[in-house]
Amino acid sequence: MLTKEQNERLTSVGPGTPGGELMRRYWLPIAPFAELLENPVKKVRILGEDLTLYKDKSGNLGLIGDRCLHRNVDMKFGIPDECGLRCPYHGWLYNETGNCVERPMEGAPQAEIKQKLKGYPVRELGGLVFAYMGPLPAPDLPRWDLLVWPNAIRQIGINIIDCNWLQCQENTGDPTHSAWAHGHMFEYVLEKKGQLEDRSSDNMHTLHQRKRVGVGIKEIYANQTEHGFRKGIRYSKALGADSDKDQEHSTVIFPFYTQTGKTGATRSEYQIRVPIDDTHTYHICYQAYSAPPGVEAPKQDVVPYYIPPTHDEKGEPILDYVLAQDAIVWVAQGPIADRTTELLGRTDIPIVVLRRQLDEQIKRVEQGLEPMNLFWKSPDMIHPTGSPPDYSKPETLIKHGFRRYYHKGFANDDADRYGPLIETVKDLHRKIEEYDIKRAGQAATEHA
């Protein structure tokens, strides 16, 4: 349970707020680059600020204030120029720093304008456009491994979630929610639709695996790491589990990333929860499908994007895939969850760790110190989950669960099913399975 003041401290992201000042120390993904290929000018709202993202005719990216200095025209209607964006009303030209560099029809020489629009640095990496809205100089853009992993294809799912970003991020600090949100609720939804037998007859189906998450729990663990924290469930056979074991949940990457699936797996994902403002979240599913040595992933010129639907044509929630199940319980907590009335239990230990880590990093910024995961020179590839996969080990290729079998129908349980790349992914998974079978046969022959 938090006090009202503590809750506001962790959830507010506007200019001048403690949480907002922390967020402005990071590069924030604000759009798929592919969106700018469809329309080079896009209105965006990030950290409570209304801005205009654009790609000019020279291919340069800019992120500037949303209203022309002249007559307050919305720059979402702006016209890309060779070096900047022009207001459609009278052609005033703004560069990527927000400075007005030309005012047609105002005569020459033109008086210098002291006012300027906001202007923030923007960069593209891995098919995403990132913005930095903090004090200059800007740190280096981190090269998190899924963004740059070789021999992989990618697609990006984007949604606007109508609640505070922390509700979405706390989901990743909750390893036991799977048992109900993705297990029992999934089963209930399929029963109501009359699809339970058809959709979940295979014991590998996600709802069966998720329901088992809640059986035989001895304790929950959470350990801070260099880049965030790792957490999971410790099971006991004496309490009903299949065996005594530790089962790790998704990895938290501070401040707003979580990674599901291992890097280099046939399917892994960053879920990124970027605050639009205090009551809306820009949610990104950054999905990577990697192939092992011996299988070549298709070439990609552009990383495509899509919007996974959360409601049907009647306005009813779609609840037969994992992301939509998560989204409904995030929003169901209200625009900003009232943490003054919650009653936490033992399964919430990682959530407490997450909140403490967030508060600690806010304090560092308040003290004039650098927060974690700020890089002045990013490595070529940062591995937030630990060492990269070692493909010389046979087990590297087989411990990926149902999400390596999208070609056998398991894509239907994830947001990926709506993606423009899904058929290509199925073909890749099929080739990887054939390669694994061939590799296993060769290994058996060698040991015969």
Distance CA 404, CA 267 (A): 6
Query: Does 188 score more than 60 pLDDT?
Result: yes
Instruction: Considering only residues 371 and 105, tell me which one the structure prediction assigns the higher pLDDT.
Output: 371
Mean pLDDT of 390-399: 57
Region 116-138 average pLDDT = 98
pTM over the 0.85 mark: yes
Measured CA to CA, the distance from residue 75 to residue 100 in angstroms comes to 13
| pLDDT over 50 (residue 323) | yes
**CA 199, CA 202: separation in Å to the nearest integer?**
8
Find, among 219, 259, 278, 382, the residue nearest to 46 by Cα: 278
CB 386 within 8 A of CB 262: no
Position 402 scores a pLDDT of 73
Identify the weakest region by mean pLDDT among 286-295, 412-421, 438-447: 438-447
β-pairing, 251-253 with 245-248?
unpaired
Answer for the pair 221, 234: CB distance below 8 angstroms, yes or no. yes
Query: What's the pLDDT at 386?
Result: 81
Write down the pLDDT at residue 145.
96
- Residue 311 corresponds to which amino acid? H
pLDDT band of residue 398 (cuts 50, 70, 90) is: very low
**pLDDT per residue over 189-244, tens digit each?**
999 989 888 887 777 778 888 899 999 999 999 999 999 999 999 999 999 999 99
Residue 448's pLDDT band, with cuts at 50, 70 and 90, is: low
Convert the pLDDT of each residue in 35-85 to its tens digit.
999 999 999 999 999 999 999 999 999 999 999 999 999 999 999 999 999
pLDDT beyond 70 at 110: no
* DSSP notation for 248-268: E-PEEETTTEEEES-TTSSSE
Contact 303, 157 (CB under 8 A): no
Please give the DSSP secondary-structure letter assigned to residue 319.
-
Binned at pLDDT 50, 70 and 90, residue 111 comes out as: low
Q: Name the least confident of 22-36, 119-133, 384-398.
A: 384-398
For residues 414 and 323, is the Cβ–Cβ distance under 8 A? yes
**Residue 71 neighbours by CB distance under 10 Å:** 10
What is the residue-averaged pLDDT of the chain? 93
pLDDT digits (tens, 9 = 90+) for 212-225: 999 999 999 999 99
Amino acid, res. 104: P
Q: Which residue has the higher pLDDT, 355 or 398?
A: 355
Spatial strand order of the sheet with 41-46 comes to 41-46, 49-55, 61-65, 119-120
Mean pLDDT of 314-318: 93
Segment 3-12 shows an average pLDDT of 97
Reported as a pLDDT band with limits 50, 70 and 90, residue 33 is very high
CB-based contacts of 293, cutoff 8 Å, min separation 6: 151, 391
Packing angle of the helix pair 4-11, 349-366 (nearest 10 deg): 70
pLDDT at 390: 72
Cβ atoms of 123 and 96 within 8 Å: the answer is no
Beta-carbon-side half-sphere exposure of residue 199 (alpha carbons within 13 Å): 21
- Bridge pairing between strands 128-132 and 49-55: unpaired
Q: In whole angstroms, what is the distance from residue 14 CA to residue 49 CA? A: 8
What pLDDT sits at residue 260? 92
**DSSP run (H or E) holding 156:** strand 152-161
Q: Are the beta carbons of 370 and 132 closer than 8 angstroms?
A: no
Neighbours of 317 (CB within 10 A): 15
Specify the pLDDT at position 400: 54
For residues 119-127, give the mean pLDDT: 98
pLDDT at 114 over 90: no
Domains in the chain: ranges and CATH: 35-132 (2.102.10.10), 145-176+214-446 (3.90.380)
Label residue 252 by pLDDT band (50, 70, 90): very high
Q: What local confidence, expressed as pLDDT, does residue 55 receive?
A: 98
User: In the structure encoding, which two tokens stand for residue 411, read together?
Assistant: 């894509």
